[in-house]
Every structure is written in C-alpha cells, then in structure tokens.
Chain A
C-alpha cells in the first residue's frame, strides 16, 4: 500500500475511534458522570492530536487545524485548560480561514481566566486528595488539605 493511502487509512481509523469517544463522553456528561466523561474526552483528545499529525504529513494544514482545535476542546471539557490553550495556539497558524482563526482565538482567550488558581478544600485518604466540592481538580488549583 502506498504511503498516502496508508496515511488516509490511519486517518479514517482514528476518525471513527475518536468520534465514538466524543459521543460517549458527551453522553456521560449528559448523565452527569463527570469522571468517566473526563477520561473519555482525554482519550479522544489524544486521538485527535494523532489525526493532526497525519494531516500535517499530507500538508493539509486546514484539516490539521480542525483536529487540533477539536483536541483543544476535548482538553477543555476534561478540565485541562493549559493543554487546551497550547493546542489552540498550535492550531492558529495552520488554518487559512480567518473566521476559524478568530474562533480559535476567542476560545483560547476564554480559557485563560479559567486557568487562574482556585482554592479548594479537600481531605487526604490513602495518599490521594479528595476535594469536598464536586468536580475534578484542574492544573493550577490550590488545595487546602485537612488531615483526617
């Protein structure tokens, strides 16, 4: 099989797998199963990043930008804002669409304030911090630990 066809097969396979993960993650979100949704969004983000690599190999920067922005959106949904911002930055120079570039910029700028540190209270059990508030910890969160 020639490399172009091989690359396209890899893209198709990744597209199917990450589409399933995104749909599953959205369902888990709708059912308020946040931990499972987070896990699925992270898995989907990794596959989207791999898709972007394949598109770049084909010198298809527009599609690479679509996949990178989708990966960034998955990371944001998973609470990993620093990673979301980094991928949005990576996608910006790749798109030839001014409208899309503006949308990516807005997304990136909206992520930045949310990255500011929050103070959460939690408790340590078996060496693991469990926040009292529902939800997951994000990068940059400050945790006040109460030793039980």
Chain B
C-alpha cells in the first residue's frame, strides 16, 4: 500500500494515519493507535479529517510565515480498517478518543517538531511518552467537547512543567468535534 510522504510545501498539510507504521518501525507499537484514529475520524464523516493546529513555542520550518496556526488534514486508506465503526461496540468512545489523540499527536510531533517517539513507561496508572530517547516528554489528551480544549491544554501544560523527571516537553490536545488542536513546547519548572 503506498504511503504518502510528508511534503512541507503542500497546503494544507496532509498526513496519512498509516505513517505511524514507519515512524516506529523497530517496535511497531505506535501502529496500535491507527485503527481507533480512523474509526473516530470516520465517525465525523470527514475524509480527510481537517484539523486546525494552534502552535506555541514550536520551532518548525512548516510554521514559517504563519501566525503559528496551520491546517492539517489526516487521511487514511479505506482498506486499512474497512469495518471501522465496529470498534465502538467493543471499546468505550472515551478510550477511542484518547487513542485517536495519541495517533494524531505522534504524527504532529514527528512532522512538525521533528521528534521521534521512542518509549512508553508507566507511572502508576498513567502512561508517559518519551521522545528522542528520554530527552523530552509528551503529554497528550483528546476530547470531543470544544469548551474543554483550552482548559485541558492548560492543565496538561501545568502537569508537564511540574513533571517529576525534570524534563522539558510537548503538550498536544485535540478536540475532534470542532477539529481544533493545541500544540506547545513547555519548559519544566525544575529543569
């Protein structure tokens, strides 16, 4: 199956969800998030699924000559997950939203910030995502409530700045219902 390559000059940017397979080829664990992402975006009847990403403190060639806001389209091949809506019968929608947000976050972090998602660890019941070895942390959240986007991002940014590992990192929060996301770089307060 052909996988489209990233093209910074294209407008709007379009990322195929299946690219997660390439991003994490050694461990292939990122591929687990492909199906939930396809199912959720398909449930909104947008293909490709557009998303306006508001970036803050992100250094990227893609953001040159912009005010930090870009539109990204997420697409997928129909044969990747043909009966995708069936997943809602077996998995709670809330979990699907979180998994879809992780998929979208990985694509954005890899393409915009040029960081590699290298590891997942557990801290109690919480999963921590590390980038570029254990150099940076990534906090992710997904919602379908447009009113929660700003507050959820603020909360995740606060958590990242206070993280116990004293690492800087990125925060990505996506609201699927209004197709908006916030992506920021945060400095740890105690780093």
Interface of chain B, helix or strand or loop or mixed?
loop
CA A73 to CA B126, docked complex, whole Å: 9
List CB contacts (< 8 Å) of A1-36 with chain B. 12-13, 15-20, 22-24, 26-27, 30-31
Nearest CB in chain B: distance from A91 CB, A: 11
Q: Which residues of A contact B127 (CB under 8 A)?
A: 22, 26
Nearest CB in chain B: distance from A143 CB, A: 27
A-B contact count (CB 8 A): 76
Once the chains bind, are A74 and B27 in contact (CB under 8 Å)?
no
Binds A, one of B117-125, B146-154, B172-180: B117-125
Q: A31-B91, A73-B123 are in contact. Are A23 and B32 (CB under 8 A)?
A: yes
Considering the complex, give the chain B residue whose CB is closest to the CB of A74. B122
Nearest CB in chain A: distance from B83 CB, A: 16
Q: Which one, B90, B121, B165, contacts A100 given CB within 8 A?
A: B165
Report B's interface with A, CB cutoff 8 A: 24, 26-29, 32, 90-92, 95, 118-125, 127, 134, 162-166, 190
Report A's interface with B, CB cutoff 8 A: 12-13, 15-20, 22-24, 26-27, 30-31, 44, 48, 62-63, 66-67, 69-70, 73-74, 76-77, 95, 97, 99-100, 102-103, 107
